[in-house]
Structure 1
């Protein structure tokens, strides 16, 4: 699926011109002011926002401030477009959490590169997190608010990690977020569903315990919520490409050397 991009500009000609350039690579949703944009955010899983700064009703700075200060939306990258080329205006945008600041007029190719970089860098961090048994979930955070959210979520999972019944409904209760909001937030930051995140958190906790070498593999399997050593082994190998015993042996060897 194409990444969903929210494009905001009160100049309808500019809006159409930029949209026409983006539709080949992105699913573009357009609005003509910030208030309309906030309504879109409540109903659509947006992955990147491009906003003009000078707009009626709610300007780009206000949109950026709302997005970056909101637990539900702070993970979304924001690119601000503006005809203002003063240092003060750039500083204002960056202080509000904007991920990029582009002056008008601009080359669309430059905008496309900025967009691709923001999304690609996030994907690289996710891939490393998914492939490395001992990488921490906070490594995929891009902002302090994302880091705090992920740590809260991780702690909630770890608190109940030995429970085989741990699922999204329990996470909803533990995080005080709606089911829809929690699902979107987890998916947007990690690329995982809540149940997938629970599973990989189990596996990473298991890897941590195996690296410490204080328990047998079968003991660890039950400690992190698996109903058998066999299902744990299959899940671990499928995720990291190595069996639990091989991983534990490798970590023992590293300690001895």
Structure 2
């Protein structure tokens, strides 16, 4: 059985970490599979939105410390970094659907997605300090932007664990829903994004990802260039036709 399962349905690609007996703990083979699948998705125009989740009632318990990556720790960590970079730079929306634990690297793997939908009973934790380890998976970049520097330090220094509900109240995740509604909400978001204008979403994602590194003047210029390009796109033409014809736009194809 592969460590990563991929299912495609009407433009929605569901990527499932598949080591349920280890709560989807990350190993070198899993990372290599995940890199390969995400690269394939990024280049496949038929894939319009990505849903990342875990099998067996857990999202990801972080690194599986029972399996050594010595003596190539640096090479392994750079591959780990490539996974979250692929999610961050994916030219289409990504959703993390989180049930159960998302801790250590698993927490930051979820946060690297554009939107994180969690069950209220999910558990997020930056537990690195408890293992004598440091942040990985983009946590040092993601956390301050999501919750602010002071709260990020608190979560990290004390290896705090928060429920899905608490994570939503902190702004760590987009929303938390009752556990039995998680699939329904995530599926609805994925379907809506798959029906959306993928080129426009890709451009907006790239701009928003640069928001904290750009000046206001740079943002205005980036918006001007992007919008002038968008005006002539097939998506914009369809959006205008739909508006004038008083119907829902059909952006697929």
> TM-score with structure 1 length normalisation?
0.30
- The structure with more helix, counted as a fraction of residues: 1
Instruction: Choose between structure 1 and 2 for higher RCO, CA contacts under 8 A separated by at least 6 residues.
Output: 2
> TM-score with structure 2 length normalisation?
0.30
- The structure with more strand, counted as a fraction of residues: 2
